[in-house]
């Protein structure tokens, strides 16, 4: 184990998302980078785990050996949910294969991203101002379905639902996230994404203050402030923003991660921290970028530990 990982509290682990190597939506970004490169880099840098990406095999028989021989665990994986427009029974059928894989790989949570109620066609290619909003009258029913889905995920697969607030989706702003979480039961956990919070117009610490006891998974993403401001002021699409570099890894942008480290240490958070950045690997070579992020996050934890002592 990398000695620097000792700065993390007990039962807190550091993973990396494959998005720095290969984008899940923009398939030209990282098209020629083999999965083995991502996994080798992650292990050699010192990360303890990874999340799923589009190049990963989706059977235990194929996936487990790839991770085990590198000493990596599977932290979780994204599920494109549609409970905004379909029934819990239909969602359970849609998630079965993915949830079964996560359970077999020993994952504690399932990352849920709401992809229904978006602009038809290519919703991440429309200007950010074109995002569809959920009518307030539909929120109670949506939250009820999320709650039932969360309970059934736990009952059937032993997985905690980690609801991912996300640009261009149902819950982007602080008020929208609050509206969903306030109506949903404790069966619905929250995925805190630092980058999507700041890009959504608010300080991620507000989610810690309001829903700290509901946070079950954390994505560590940074934002380049000037690029993000240009994306908003010129009303670019999400995908145009990604291509222009609005997101980056921790330490390369404007976000202060010290409040997050204090929350993890003081509130007794137990689970995964996942370094993540949707950016073009041709512009930002993945290994140097995530290496900087690895050290940046662990240095912050080491500093907050010394202050705490």
| Residue pLDDT, tens place only, 209-251 | 999 999 999 999 999 999 999 999 999 999 999 999 999 999 9
Strand (E) positions, 12-153?
12-16, 49-51, 73-76, 78-81, 109-114
Query: Residue 307 pLDDT more than 70?
Result: no
What is the band of 3 on the pLDDT scale with cuts at 50, 70, 90?
confident
- What average pLDDT does range 162-189 have in this prediction? 98
Give the model's pLDDT for residue 274: 98
Asked whether the predicted pLDDT for residue 142 surpasses 70, the reply is: yes
Average of pLDDT values for 150-172?
Answer: 98
For residues 184 and 82, what is the distance between their CA atoms, to the nearest angstrom? 16
pLDDT at residue 222 in the model: 98
Cα(88)–Cα(145) distance, integer angstroms: 6
CA atoms within a 13 Å half-sphere pointing along the CA-CB vector of 308: 18
Provide the 3-class DSSP secondary structure of residue 136.
helix
CB atoms within 10 A of CB 266: 12
Residues for the chain: how many in total?
Answer: 309
Tell me if 194 sits within 8 A of 204, measured CB to CB: yes
Paired strand residues for 12: 271
pLDDT of residue 306: 56
Q: What is the pLDDT of residue 304?
A: 84
Q: What is the pLDDT of residue 53?
A: 97
State the pLDDT at residue 252.
96
What is the reported pTM?
A: 0.97
Q: What number is the average pLDDT over the span 68-77?
A: 98
- CA distances (Å), origin 158, targets 99, 188, 244: 9, 13, 39
Task: Look up tokens 């066609």; give the residue.
Answer: 121
Q: List, in order, residues 6 or more apart from 285 with CB less than 8 Å away.
A: none
pLDDT value for 163 = 99
- Kindly report the backbone phi and psi dihedral angles of residue 218, in degrees, each rounded to the nearest multiple of 5, phi listed first: -135, 130
- Torsion angles phi and psi, residue 193, rounded to 5: -115, 110
Higher pLDDT, residue 2 or 78: 78
Residues of the chain above pLDDT 90, percent: 97
Taking residues 177-204, report their average pLDDT: 98
70-83 burial: b if 16+ Cβ within 10 Å, else e: eebbbbbbbbebbb
pLDDT higher than 80, residue 305 = no
Q: Tell me: pLDDT of 290 over 70.
A: yes
pLDDT reported for residue 227 = 97
Contact 109, 76 (CB under 8 A): yes
Q: What are phi and psi of 39, to 5 degrees?
A: -65, -40
Question: Which residues, 6 or more positions from 210, have their beta carbon under 8 angstroms from its beta carbon?
Answer: 178
Please, are residues 218 and 189 in contact by the beta-carbon 8 Å criterion? no
**For residue 190, what is the enclosing H or E element?**
strand 188-193
Kindly indicate the confidence band of residue 11, based on its pLDDT and cuts at 50, 70 and 90: very high
Residue 267 clears pLDDT 90, i.e. is over it:
yes
Mean residue pLDDT of the chain comes to: 96
How many angstroms separate the most distant Cα atoms in the chain? Answer: 53
pLDDT of residue 43: 98
**Alpha carbon distance 158, 252 (integer Å):** 36
């Amino acid at each position: 184990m990398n000695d620097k990982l000792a700065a993390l509290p007990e039962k807190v682990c550091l993973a990396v998302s494959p998005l720095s190597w290969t984008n899940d939506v923009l398939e030209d970004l990282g098209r020629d980078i083999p999965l083995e490169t991502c996994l080798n880099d992650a292990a050699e840098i010192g990360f303890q785990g990874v999340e799923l990406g589009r190049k990963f095999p989706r059977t235990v028989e194929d996936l487990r050996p790839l991770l085990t021989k590198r000493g990596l665990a599977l932290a979780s994986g994204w599920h494109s949910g549609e409970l905004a427009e379909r029934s819990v029974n239909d969602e359970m059928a849609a998630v079965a294969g993915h949830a079964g894989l996560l359970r077999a790989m020993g994952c504690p949570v399932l990352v849920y991203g709401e992809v229904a109620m978006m602009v038809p066609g290519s919703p991440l290619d429309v200007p950010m101002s074109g995002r569809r909003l959920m009518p307030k009258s539909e929120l109670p029913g949506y939250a009820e379905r999320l709650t039932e889905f969360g309970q059934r995920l736990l009952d059937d697969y032993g997985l905690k639902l980690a609801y991912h607030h996300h640009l261009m989706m149902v819950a982007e702003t602080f008020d929208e996230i609050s509206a969903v979480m306030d109506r949903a039961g404790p069966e619905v956990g929250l995925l805190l994404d630092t980058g999507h919070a700041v890009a959504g117009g608010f300080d991620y610490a507000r989610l810690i203050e309001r829903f700290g006891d509901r946070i079950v998974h954390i994505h560590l993403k940074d934002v380049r402030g000037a690029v993000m401001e240009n994306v908003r002021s010129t009303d670019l699409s999400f995908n145009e923003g990604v291509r222009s570099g609005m997101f980056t890894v921790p330490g390369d942008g404007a976000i202060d991660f010290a409040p997050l480290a204090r929350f993890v240490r003081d509130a007794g958070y137990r689970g995964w921290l996942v370094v993540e950045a949707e950016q073009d690997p041709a512009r930002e070579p993945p290994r140097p970028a995530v290496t900087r992020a690895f050290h940046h996050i662990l240095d912050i934890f080491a500093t907050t530990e010394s202050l705490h002592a």
